[in-house]
Amino acid sequence: MRIMGDVYGGLANVPYDTKPVSNFMATIDEYQTHKDMSKLLSHFARIKKEDPDFYFNLHTDHVDKVDRIFWIDGPAIAAYKNYSDCLSFDTTYMTNMYNMPFAPFIGINRYCQSIQLGCAFLKNENVESFVWLFQEFLEAMGGLQPQNFITDQDAAMRSAILAVFPNCCHRNTYFKDRFFPFLQTTARSEGFNAVLKTYSNPHQSLHHFFEQYLKLQEKINVAEDSIEFLDEDKTFRVWGDYPLEEQALKVYTRPIYLRLRAELRKVTSYNVQLIGGQSYDVLPIKTYVYGYGSRSYQVEANVETETYSCECCKFSRDGLLCCHIFRVMVQLGCINKISEKYILDRWRV
């Protein structure tokens, strides 16, 4: 109105008040929103033709405005069948002009890369909205619930998870006895959001965001293809002389093998003492071992059944045997192979 006052030579001379102006601006906003949503739906329809398994759904509120959006592409649906054992989810990033938080479902592939397994926008972060979203996720995934689900500390989110994913293990930070591989918090989701910020900003339209999302998804796919290509050539030398390392090199993807090799290197950082029976104390030689600190760890080992457990719970958490178990295996002369029960399919080549 102040600008109009300048045009008419003063506010008193303006032939209308603020009400008509507000109504007019609302009409423009309504038009832009409708136009934006039409473009987004056109994007979805185009992707659906190219990818028949592409899944999406919208929800409208009591005044028929879209307040929830969910989508996931066919390759992500297929990937989820192999990687439903651990999901990260949060809603901390605002990505559009409507102040609808972006909510990505993030998984971990066999190369230990973050992959997106569904995306959403939610106008309201309440129980009803999260229940709708998780139900849509289940519908897209053929009813397959995640086994382990890590989120931020949101009460509404927790209530919705209990209602829709009653069989999954929900945590706000990782528990060492559950499968949250190489993950401590929602850092996977936060990292995905950080990358997304380089492609989009919080003031753009939904259809523009989706365009940028497609570019990011393409980049993720290229990165995975690149690692697969490198994984085909495993000509680099193993670290030590343990036969089981040769086995690991053949069965694991390159990033996972390198993590296991790091554990094998730490074998030289420990001594072993028999406590009694099948129990062993694994004690650090120096004052500190990277990743494990200065404490000792107790390992249970049954050579006949090839069964091992360590109180560090690395296998439960990461799906890889720890240096403490390897140290006991070396002590017992069991260095020829890793038992198949300790080689997860999700980490295989």
Residue 216, domain CATH = 3.30.420
- Judged by phi (left if over 0) then psi (alpha if -120 to 50, else beta), residue 326 lies in alpha
Please indicate, yes or no, if residue 44 is contained in any of the structural domains. no
- Which residues are CB-neighbours of 259 under 8 A, at least 6 positions away? 112, 182, 318, 320
Say if residue 222 is exposed, middle or buried (CB neighbours under 10 Å; 0-12, 13-18, 19+): exposed
Which run of H or E residues covers position 307? strand 307-310
Give residue 135's pLDDT: 98
First CA to last CA across the chain, in angstroms? 66
- Per-residue exposure over 9-24, b if at least 16 CB sit within 10 Å of its own CB, e if not: eeeeebeeeeeeeeee
Please indicate, yes or no, if residue 45 is contained in any of the structural domains. no
Residues 8 and 134 in one domain: no
Domain end among 201, 229, 257 = 229
Q: How far are the Cα atoms of 68, 73, 110, 119, 201 from residue 102, in angstroms, in the given order?
A: 10, 17, 25, 7, 12
Residues 182 and 109 in one domain: yes
Q: Which two tokens stand for residue 140?
A: 């897209």
pLDDT one-digit tens code per residue, 105-129? 999 999 998 888 999 999 999 999 9
φ, ψ for residue 238 (rounded to 5)? -75, 165
Residues 142 and 282 in one domain: no
Using DSSP's 3-state secondary structure scheme, residue 298 falls into strand
Residues 200 and 151 in one domain: yes
Q: What is the pLDDT along the chain (349 residues), one digit of tens a residue?
A: 444 344 445 545 545 455 544 443 344 345 456 688 888 999 999 999 999 999 999 999 988 888 999 999 999 999 999 999 999 998 866 655 677 888 889 999 999 988 889 999 999 999 999 999 999 999 999 999 999 999 888 899 999 999 999 999 998 885 678 898 886 555 555 556 666 666 566 567 888 888 888 887 787 777 776 666 666 655 667 888 999 999 999 999 999 999 999 999 999 999 999 999 999 999 999 989 999 999 999 999 999 999 999 999 999 999 999 999 999 999 999 999 999 999 999 999 9
Domain count, the chain: 3
Residues 311 and 195 in one domain: no
Residues 94 and 151 in one domain: yes
Q: Tell me what percent of the residues of the chain surpass a pLDDT of 90.
A: 58
User: Of 116, 344, 134, 151, which Cα lies nearest the Cα of 252?
Assistant: 344
What range defines the domain where residue 183 resides?
51-229
Residues 29 and 168 in one domain: no
User: Of 331, 318, 322, which Cα lies nearest the Cα of 280?
Assistant: 331
Please indicate, yes or no, if residue 234 is contained in any of the structural domains. no
Residues 86 and 187 in one domain: yes
Beta bridge partners of 88: 106, 150
Residues 79 and 26 in one domain: no
Give residue 127's pLDDT: 96
Please indicate, yes or no, if residue 71 is contained in any of the structural domains. yes
Residues 327 and 184 in one domain: no
pLDDT one-digit tens code per residue, 219-256? 777 777 666 666 665 566 788 899 999 999 999 999 99
Residues 96 and 148 in one domain: yes
φ, ψ for residue 299 (rounded to 5)? -120, 135
Please indicate, yes or no, if residue 40 is contained in any of the structural domains. no
Ordered alpha helix ranges (H), the chain: 2-8, 18-50, 74-83, 127-140, 155-164, 187-197, 206-231, 243-251, 254-266, 314-318, 323-332
Please indicate, yes or no, if residue 284 is contained in any of the structural domains. yes
Please indicate, yes or no, if residue 133 is contained in any of the structural domains. yes
- Residue 221 and residue 113 in contact, taking contact as beta carbons nearer than 8 Å: no
Please indicate, yes or no, if residue 67 is contained in any of the structural domains. yes
Domain end among 197, 229, 261 = 229
Residues 66 and 114 in one domain: yes
